Amino acid sequence: MRRRTLSRPAFVLSSALASLAAACAEPPAPQTSVDCPAGTETELAAEYATSVHPLLLRPVDQGGCVACHAPDSSRPFVVWPDADETFRQSRVRGLLDPTGERTLLAMLARSDGLRMPLAGQAWPEAERSAVERLVCRMAASDLPPASCSDADPGNVLLRRLSNDEYDRTAARSLGDATEPSSGLAADTPGHGFDNVASAQTLSIGHLERYLNVGARLARETLLVPSSVETNLEAESLSAYIYNGQKPGPGQGSVVGEHYHFQRIRSYLNGGLQHAPYAGTYTIEVKARGTSAPHYTCPEPNAYDLCVQHQAAHDGPWLLVENNVAPKLVVMVDGQLVGQGIDVASVAEPSQLGPFASYSVSVPLEPGFHSVRVWLDNVVYWAREERDVTLDVDRIRWTGPLPADLPPVDAARIARFLLCDSFACRDQAIANALAVLWRRPATSDEVARYAVLVDDAAAAGESFKDGLEAVLEAALASPNFLFRPELDPEPDVPASRPLDGYELATRLSYFVWGGPPDADLLAHAAAGDLVQDDVLGAELDRMLQDPRASAIVERFAAQWLQLESIESSSPSAGAFPNFSDALKASFMGELHAILVDALANERTVFELIDSPRVFVDARLAAHYGLDATGLGEAFVAVSPGASGRGGLLASAGVLMMTSHPSRTSPTKRGKWLLEQLLCRPPGAPPPNVDATFEGKDVANLSPKEMLEQHTTSPSCAGCHAQMDPLGFALEGFDAIGQARTTYATGEPVDDVASLPDGVTLNGLGDVVAYVKSDPGFPLCTARKMLTYALGTDPTRFDPCAVEAVTSGFADGGYTLKALVRAVAMGPTFRSRRPAKQGEYDDLFGGQP
Amino acid sequence: MTVGDGRAFGRRLLLRGLGVGLALPLLESLTPRGARAEPPTPIRRVLYYYVPNGFNMNVWADAVATMAGGKLSSLPGLPGFLAPLAGGDGKKDLREKLLVVSGLDNAPANYRASDDDANGAHFQQTASFLSCRHVDRTPFGAGQSIDQSIATSLGYITPHRSLQLGLHGSANGACAAGWPCAYLGFISWADATTPLAQLNAPGEVFETLFSSSAGGVSPADLARRKARKLRVLDVVHADAKSLHGKLGQADRYKLEQYLTAVDEAEVKAQAMGAAAACEVDPLGAVPVSYPERLDLMADLMTLAFKCDLTRVISFMRHSGGASFGKAYDFVLHDGKPLTEQKHTYSHWNAPLASEVGTLEERKAAYLAKLAAINTWEIERLAYLLRRLDDVVEPTGGTLLDNSVVLFGSELGEPDHHLANDLPLVLAGSCGGTIATDRHLAFNGGAMKNDTFADLHLGLAQRLGVTFAPPMGGGPLFGEDGTKPLPGLDG
């Protein structure tokens, strides 16, 4: 039943050994100079265990191997100490998975032309002869394909919703489309995806924000919009004088139940007031005051202390024009509201009567707004000891006007508020938990949450208040934030099929990036989702649903690292024609390519080699294509001779793999190897000597400069693969414009050679190189499995990748075929508890 | 055919992982109301101010020589990139409040030949900055960082036991060869495997500090919220406990992180209302430019200390390695904005071929630009220090006097990824326990007895936190912190 898509015979293992390959590549009769009799699998495994494996347990950094194997340094060449397991995995990986660990055996299996050992590097003779003999024997033996019959579904760690998944969940389960994750801690992606459990940690910083955002969502889910009213008693507010200091003696104080302004510009701080909705808000001040007698002050210096007066806003200090009533000024967010209010006043404090109300209104956006009430004018002079005074009794904040309130979303409320009575407590709780937790709640859980409703009742709150607390807790619960899959025997690592609810949740987060819908949950409840036919039908339905756009927005965007386009910032000096609008068009093209690929069942090969290019008017001009009739929408046109249309020729990818002012062949090559072929080169070793001492490199071309990489053994291993792929794309500048010369006027050189001698002449050859590499579909499958399971790809059984790749091929290499191959396969549909010590590397042996 | 306009896609991507600033008011003045009982002695505080990716060590070597002896304040100014701390342009001279430290290594941060992977540059140094432990690609984990050792020891005497602040986006995409992003993204670690998420948006910091005080919440309403929060925490704690018993070993570990967080949230909820005593003025939109947001973060840190909302802050100007994805165009060199990120200039030994001049000229240009970035970093530090120094405390002295700010980077020489001879600036005397206005030089070389970890121990001691030797001997802190650094008190 299992089919092999990469039908390389076993002797490919020897291809890295050029000299030996000649001797061994013609089975069944190897040359007699090498003693390599054919053997059974058992015999060869035994030879591996006795003569090769012990040698490979040595650290990499002995024997001149570290130049190429630097990433593995002092680690042994083999990652599994057990010889039989290493042999099995090496067989499987060597044949099927050129992306495997950078072990010696994987190196032997490489088909990308990187020979071992590099010139000038020594390979200990005993090791060489033992390995060569084994490889030769395997070639001679014509072994059957390595067995994948017992593929291990692996363990899937407890996953937490990524921020994007949280948003999609809030949108679907709560009807909240505000993308609330903007209030959450940032994701810490691993292996390129935001949902990889091993890279997720949780601290108080995460939880606090889950609590805050959850509380807001709970409140708003049940909210009937209403106006707010806050009364601020003046005597409880703090006052400040104009320079931010507290009022001193005689500058204002609390008198009884009101605040008494006196002698100096000062304000009462009404703090931050909440505006729940956009609309008109009213600030009403209850006040009274005394006026000052008429006086003009033509010559300020004639008085001990003349008049101080200032408009509350940014006006200059003014001489007084008085006989003034106290002028009350309201400021919101530091801005004057209206023109100030003349408070009705009396001449003598003894005549002061009751307070009167004065109001100003102001249109505001939702949020918190600062409110201050000022006494704007002050008249004081020493000879008569008379002031303008103002007494404020209360400030009232109300709004918005009823007409400004949003309509009630009755359906949203009714989804959780099954009835507005304590009588349906348990029913409402069970409903809420089932919606948010993607499974029915147990009676214990319902009882636990009932306490929240009962406590609210005891505190005199309504049933709705209690239900709000239920939602708040349910949204902060690990049952919501995580996606638990509970094993009957969690410490016994035996595989089991997922149950219906587990499968529904895996499926929906995989295909939709969000929670399962009623249909899926109904099948989960009925128990038939685990059947092939029902699952297949549900999958087809899901792929037809608009929510399947998550495959583009979540999977493909992360696979291709497209967020790097957003963060790219080309130098304005080097590219004066670049703009954010152009950047948006770059992103738009990639979105269009991927949406088209998903909707119209394009093959993965068409992603890089397409007969159509998606452009809007701006991008067409950027690509030198005919923009006639184009506007803001992306339209498929013929690329003509431009070579555009595929990912590799898209301005977005070309830009995000460049430096701000220049291209980087290395970055372009690295992206291509890492994202499309899953052969990530290592990063430069520390203390790398990049000085090229003793050489006059000032006059070298960019290419000659970078070729210095390949003269240093510590750099050559990786750069010899990366740089040529990038050099062949030098016909495009750092914002993806076609070019034939560099800024210096030198002609562009986009011909480069790979280590195996293949010459790449421009974009077309790079496209052909990627298309023909069996690692490309395999890598795509591997990336999707990583995303689907949220699991570190190095932990997959290689057989699982092989099986998915096989289904991918059968389905014609379309994205939907790949989704089906993953979702219908045993790896996705089953799980096993972790083995003892399986995650020691991750948790430092802590559990 | 037509396929939409594609723009919604960009928006969602943009939102992912980026700290989106809330439209909260800008701080226009810092005006707390001291309603809380005043403690009899100065409150001591510590702030770890991290900048990524090292310094121009030539400039630093010259500066170290210039500051060889005597008081800093008797020099004509301050040498090299330290110059902005000496005032000028009407700005306050801070020299009397500084202790410049040279010659300390954070040796555990450096690559070792025995490491299982050689691609850990920046990861290893950044994760080790406050933990002083050597980290490996696997197993995952640093050590508890010094700020967390102090915070844990002080306990919840303030509403926030500690604050982790930063000003950078996600470190995604920068994580090479399987090294955990967390090593680059965080300097504060609650324990070996729990890095602490930072607040990266000024609006978010403001809300975190003042949400219960700035919203005009009445005491009754606050009490209601507090009771609700405690009840909610009880319920989710029970959920987690119930789940915990049904999970396998590895998943249990993940859930234990959740349970720990619930416990901490409960303690913080109990402290709700404390911040209500500190009243702040509210204020305008969060600025867009990076330097302005940096200064706003300095304002907020000042406010957090001033209102005694925390006594321990770690601030990460940017994630390790300083691969900004964007040119440092807010830094001028020769009157022109820089065109590359700091990381590019930090590898001054391998200047780009696209620059003008001979190799030596291009190296010199890179070094000069690196120094320009360092100068800019010190200017921004000086802004924070002056803000702290503007606040006079009721117990005497300024906030700066009563605190200690440790400014440094995970690297000294960035080109070689070495955490040796770290340039370090201490500011503030931590309530008179650190002798300032001088340069404290430690000798390099193989015989080094004093370490960066010792400095961490020295500062912790001044916060009243001491470390007991572990059973069976070994360092007090990190891998090579054996005693509080000698010489801090003159």
The residue among B296, B297, B317 whose CA lies nearest residue B53 is B317
List the single range of A73-77, B197-201, B303-307 with lowest mean pLDDT: A73-77
Q: Is the pLDDT of residue B449 over 90?
A: no
Candidates A201, A459, A596; nearest CB to B182: A201
Pair (A199, A243) in one structural domain: no
Q: Give the number of domains in chain A.
A: 5
Last residue of a domain, one of B224, B256, B279: B279
CATH of residue A338: 2.60.120.260
CA gap B336, A705 in Å, rounded:
26
Gap from A416 CA to chain B (nearest CA, Å)? 18
The token pair that represents B209 in the structure block: 């500090």
B97, burial (CB in 10 Å: exposed 0-12, middle 13-18, buried 19+): buried
Tell me the pLDDT tens digit for each residue of B116-136: 777 788 889 999 999 999 998
Pair (B185, B329) in one structural domain: yes
Q: Is the pLDDT of residue B1 over 70?
A: no
Candidates B13, B236, B253; nearest CB to A847: B253
Identify whether B252 is part of a domain: yes
Pair (A276, A314) in one structural domain: yes
Q: Is B326 in Cβ contact with A841 (below 8 Å)?
A: no
> What are the b/e assignments for A42-69, b being 16+ CB within 10 Å?
eebbebbeebbbebbebbbbeebbbbbb
Q: Does any CB of chain A come closer than 8 Å to the CB of residue B236?
A: yes
Question: For residue A183, what pLDDT band results from cuts at 50, 70 and 90?
Answer: confident
Identify whether A322 is part of a domain: yes
Q: What Cα–Cα distance (Å) separates residue A474 from each residue in A221, A444, A445, B237?
A: 13, 14, 10, 11
Candidates B211, B216, B250; nearest CB to A273: B216
Give the chain A residue whose CA is nearest to the CA of B179: A190
Candidates B17, B255, B354; nearest CB to A662: B354
Identify whether B291 is part of a domain: yes
Pair (A265, A215) in one structural domain: no
Pair (B222, B145) in one structural domain: no
Which residues span the domain enclosing A204?
157-224+410-484
Whole-number pLDDT of residue A720 = 77
Pair (B134, B262) in one structural domain: no
Pair (A376, A232) in one structural domain: yes
Pair (B177, B326) in one structural domain: yes
Q: Does any CB of chain A come closer than 8 Å to the CB of residue B223?
A: no
Candidates B10, B25, B33; nearest CB to A238: B33
Q: Is B254 in Cβ contact with A158 (below 8 Å)?
A: yes
Pair (B42, B90) in one structural domain: yes
Q: Which of residues 22-41 of B touch A (CB under 8 A)?
A: 23-25, 28-29, 31, 33
Whole-number pLDDT of residue A109 = 43
How, if at all, do strands A356-364 and A345-346 pair? unpaired
ipTM tops the 0.85 cut: no
Question: A356: helix, coil or strand?
Answer: strand
State the average pLDDT for chain B.
81
CATH of residue B42: 3.40.720
The DSSP secondary-structure symbol of B353 reads T
Residues of chain B found within 8 Å of residue A268, distances taken between Cβ atoms: none
Q: Is A591 in Cβ contact with B254 (below 8 Å)?
A: no
How, if at all, do strands A327-332 and A367-375 pair? antiparallel
Q: Is the pLDDT of residue A382 over 50?
A: no
Q: Is the pLDDT of residue A686 over 60?
A: no
Q: C-alpha angle B116/B120/B121, rounded to 5°?
A: 140
Pair (A712, A796) in one structural domain: no
Gap from B191 CA to chain A (nearest CA, Å)? 10
Q: What Cα–Cα distance (Å) separates residue A553 from each residue in A561, A649, B209, B427?
A: 11, 20, 35, 47
CA gap B111, B417 in Å, rounded:
8
Pair (A688, A699) in one structural domain: yes
Tell me the pLDDT tens digit for each residue of B62-96: 999 999 878 999 999 999 999 999 998 889 999 99
Tell me the pLDDT tens digit for each residue of B323-367: 656 788 899 999 899 988 888 898 888 787 667 788 888 889 999
Candidates A206, A370, A684; nearest CB to B281: A370
Q: Is the pLDDT of residue B262 over 80?
A: yes
Residues of chain A found within 8 Å of residue B248, distances taken between Cβ atoms: 155, 487, 490-491, 833-834
Pair (B274, B311) in one structural domain: no
| More confident call, B113 vs A99 | B113
Pair (A371, A266) in one structural domain: yes
List the single range of A55-69, A300-314, B419-433, B450-464 with lowest mean pLDDT: A300-314
CB-facing half-sphere around the CA of A415: CA atoms within 13 A: 20
Whole-number pLDDT of residue B275 = 57
Identify whether B148 is part of a domain: yes
Gap from B437 CA to chain A (nearest CA, Å)? 32
| More confident call, A266 vs A718 | A266
Question: For residue A336, what pLDDT band results from cuts at 50, 70 and 90?
Answer: confident
List the single range of A711-725, B28-42, B386-400 with lowest mean pLDDT: B28-42
Candidates A181, A203, A212; nearest CB to B194: A203
Q: Is B31 in Cβ contact with A75 (below 8 Å)?
A: no
Residues of chain B found within 8 Å of residue A590, distances taken between Cβ atoms: 6
Dihedral class, residue A357 (left if φ above 0, else alpha if ψ from -120 to 50, else beta)? beta
Identify whether B30 is part of a domain: no
What's the whole-number mean pLDDT along residues B166-181? 62
Residues of chain B found within 8 Å of residue A167, distances taken between Cβ atoms: 15
| More confident call, B139 vs A294 | B139
- Which ranges in A692-774 belong to alpha helices (H)? 702-707, 713-727, 763-772
Q: Is the pLDDT of residue A67 over 80?
A: no
Identify whether B27 is part of a domain: no
Tell me the pLDDT tens digit for each residue of A749-769: 899 888 777 899 999 999 999
Gap from A732 CA to chain B (nearest CA, Å)? 16
Pair (A188, A240) in one structural domain: no
Whole-number pLDDT of residue A814 = 96
Pair (A248, A295) in one structural domain: yes
Give the chain B residue whose CA is nearest to the CA of A397: B216
Tell me the pLDDT tens digit for each residue of A81-113: 677 767 776 666 553 333 333 344 444 444 344
Identify whether A476 is part of a domain: yes
Q: Is A486 in Cβ contact with B247 (below 8 Å)?
A: yes
Pair (B234, B305) in one structural domain: no
The separation between CA A297 and the C-alpha centre of its own chain, rounded to angstroms, equals 66
Q: Which of residues 154-183 of B touch A (CB under 8 A)?
A: 164, 169-173, 175-178, 180-182
Identify whether A317 is part of a domain: yes
Q: Is A846 in Cβ contact with B250 (below 8 Å)?
A: no
List the single range of A174-178, A576-580, A702-706 with lowest mean pLDDT: A702-706
**Are A732 and A654 contacting, i.e. CB atoms less than 8 angstroms apart?**
yes
Phi and psi of B147, rounded to 5°? -65, -35
Last residue of a domain, one of B246, B263, B279: B279
Q: Which of residues 333-362 of B touch A (CB under 8 A)?
A: 339-341, 344, 347, 349-350, 352-354, 357-359, 362
Q: Is B249 in Cβ contact with A564 (below 8 Å)?
A: no
Pair (A89, A101) in one structural domain: yes
Q: Is the pLDDT of residue A28 over 50?
A: no
Give the chain A residue whose CA is nearest to the CA of B142: A844
Candidates A71, A588, A841; nearest CB to B177: A71
Q: Is B352 in Cβ contact with A204 (below 8 Å)?
A: no
Q: What Cα–Cα distance (Å) separates residue B25 from each residue in A334, A797, B387, B440?
A: 10, 53, 19, 42
Gap from A211 CA to chain B (nearest CA, Å)? 8
Pair (A273, A391) in one structural domain: yes
Whole-number pLDDT of residue A432 = 97
Q: Is the pLDDT of residue B27 over 70?
A: no
Pair (B311, B443) in one structural domain: yes
Whole-number pLDDT of residue B353 = 66
Identify whether A796 is part of a domain: yes
The token pair that represents A130 in the structure block: 């033992």
CATH of residue A441: 1.10.3130
Give the chain B residue whose CA is nearest to the CA of A60: B116
Q: Where are the beta strands (DSSP E) in A181-290?
A: 228-233, 238-241, 252-255, 258-262, 266-275, 279-290
Pair (A72, A103) in one structural domain: yes
| More confident call, A451 vs B6 | A451
Cβ-Cβ pairs closer than 8 A, A with B, add up to: 394
Whole-number pLDDT of residue A191 = 85
Give the chain B residue whose CA is nearest to the CA of A612: B1
Pair (B72, B172) in one structural domain: yes
What's the whole-number mean pLDDT along residues B4-11? 38
Question: For residue A590, what pLDDT band results from cuts at 50, 70 and 90?
Answer: very high
Candidates A183, A232, A367; nearest CB to B23: A367
CA gap B276, B218 in Å, rounded:
10
Pair (B182, B233) in one structural domain: no
Pair (B310, B238) in one structural domain: no
The residue among A204, A206, A290 whose CA lies nearest residue A255 is A290
Whole-number pLDDT of residue A388 = 77
Amino acid A616 reads D
- Which ranges in A550-701 belong to alpha helices (H)? 550, 557-559, 563-567, 580-599, 617-623, 651-656, 665-671
Q: Does any CB of chain A come closer than 8 Å to the CB of residue B398?
A: no
The token pair that represents A350 in the structure block: 């003894």
Q: Is the pLDDT of residue A797 over 90?
A: no
Pair (B226, B78) in one structural domain: no
Q: Is A203 in Cβ contact with B190 (below 8 Å)?
A: yes
Gap from A406 CA to chain B (nearest CA, Å)? 21
Whole-number pLDDT of residue A811 = 95
**Are B169 and B15 contacting, i.e. CB atoms less than 8 angstroms apart?**
no
Whole-number pLDDT of residue A548 = 96
Tell me the pLDDT tens digit for each residue of A530-563: 999 999 999 999 999 999 999 999 999 999 999 8
Q: Which of residues 278-297 of B touch A (CB under 8 A)?
A: 279, 281-284
Give the chain B residue whose CA is nearest to the CA of A558: B13
CA gap A357, A237 in Å, rounded:
18
Q: Is the pLDDT of residue A15 over 70?
A: no
The token pair that represents A100 in the structure block: 């495997």
Residues of chain B found within 8 Å of residue A240, distances taken between Cβ atoms: 31
Whole-number pLDDT of residue A44 = 86
Identify whether A376 is part of a domain: yes
Q: Give the number of domains in chain B.
A: 2
Identify whether B487 is part of a domain: no
Identify whether A608 is part of a domain: no
Identify whether A642 is part of a domain: no
Last residue of a domain, one of B252, B279, B306: B279
Whole-number pLDDT of residue B16 = 30
Which residues lie across from A372 on neighbouring strands? Answer: A269, A331
Q: Where are the beta strands (DSSP E) in A99-191?
A: none
The token pair that represents A421 in the structure block: 């009575």
Identify whether A220 is part of a domain: yes
Give the chain A residue whose CA is nearest to the CA of B193: A843
Gap from B72 CA to chain A (nearest CA, Å)? 35
List the single range of A20-29, B145-154, B338-347 with lowest mean pLDDT: A20-29
Of the residues A210, A219, A272, the best mutation for testing chain B's interface (the one with the most B CB atoms within 10 Å of its CB) is A272
Which residues span the domain enclosing B238?
213-279
Gap from B454 CA to chain A (nearest CA, Å)? 26
Last residue of a domain, one of A382, A404, A426: A404
The DSSP secondary-structure symbol of A229 reads E
> What are the b/e assignments for A212-233, b being 16+ CB within 10 Å?
bbbbbbbebbbbeeebeebebe
| More confident call, A221 vs A252 | A221
